[in-house]
């Protein structure tokens, strides 16, 4: 998910200089409606017929924009990933390198997760539906998730480079543990309805940061480069 200033400008300028044609607008509206359905009934529940009914279009009209149910599902995955980047990844890039940026990524992820406790997460529900079903839809889901987790791992690596985390920090392990908190939050909040799950997830993240901020067995470092104070959980 790395992005250059040129790429950001191109992304921002594209809508202004290249307005969508009518066919593209219709397809975008269909994908938007399909994403809304998928968060409620899952990717596997999507069908051309159900979508045509929602859009008040003919089945052939919907089918003409995708060609297959599988391509519709992949389009939904891509749209979900784009929105995830826009809400979670790109806003965090304005934060200073290192731990502040890692925290911002986690904060944004938590905000989106808190909303999806009610609406559902395509990444999580899709993993349940397609974990044992090889094919293009599973590949699209796995690629999107791996892209995001790679960005998180890179954020940890930068925090190590900036001296905010111990030099011997295992970036992959730390990213794994952070991801685990999000998965636990979904399970606790969405399935078990635990009222304090968000607070516990924030507390767990701070515990992970503290543990990786100094070498095992050592006291917390007092002279790290650009020290970053601990954060209180936000409401």
Number of H helices, E strands in the chain: 11, 0
pLDDT tens per residue across span 21-55: 777 898 999 999 999 999 888 999 898 888 999 99
- Whole-model pTM over 0.85: no
Q: What is the pLDDT of residue 215?
A: 60
CA 88 to chain centre: 6
Interval 53-93: pLDDT, tens: 999 999 999 889 998 999 999 999 999 999 999 999 999 99
Contact 135, 143 (CB under 8 A): no
Q: Quote the pLDDT of residue 1.
A: 59
Over the stretch 125-181, which tens digit does the pLDDT of each residue have? 999 999 999 999 999 999 999 999 999 999 999 999 999 999 999 999 999 999 999
HSE at residue 115, side-chain half, CA atoms within 13 A, is 10
């Amino acid at each position: 998910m790395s992005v250059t200033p040129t790429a950001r400008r191109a992304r921002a300028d594209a809508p202004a200089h290249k307005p969508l044609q009518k066919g593209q607008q219709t397809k975008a509206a269909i994908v938007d409606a399909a994403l809304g359905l998928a968060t409620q009934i899952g990717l596997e529940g999507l069908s051309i017929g159900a979508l045509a009914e929602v859009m008040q279009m003919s089945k052939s009209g919907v089918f003409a924009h995708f060609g297959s149910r599988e391509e519709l599902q992949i389009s939904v995955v891509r749209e979900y990933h784009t929105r995830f980047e826009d809400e979670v990844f790109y806003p965090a890039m304005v934060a200073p390198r290192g731990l502040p940026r890692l925290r911002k990524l986690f904060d944004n992820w938590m905000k989106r997760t808190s909303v999806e406790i009610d609406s559902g997460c395509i990444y999580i529900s899709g993993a349940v539906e397609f974990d044992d079903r090889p094919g293009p839809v599973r590949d699209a889901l796995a690629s999107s998730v791996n892209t995001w987790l790679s960005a998180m791992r890179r954020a940890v690596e930068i925090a190590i480079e900036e001296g905010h985390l111990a030099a011997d920090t295992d970036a992959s392990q730390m990213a794994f543990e952070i991801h685990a908190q999000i998965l636990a939050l979904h399970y606790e909040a969405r399935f078990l309805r635990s009222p304090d799950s968000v607070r516990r997830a924030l507390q767990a993240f701070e515990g992970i940061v503290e543990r990786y901020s100094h070498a095992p067995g050592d006291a917390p470092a007092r002279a790290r480069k650009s020290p970053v104070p601990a954060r209180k959980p936000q409401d």
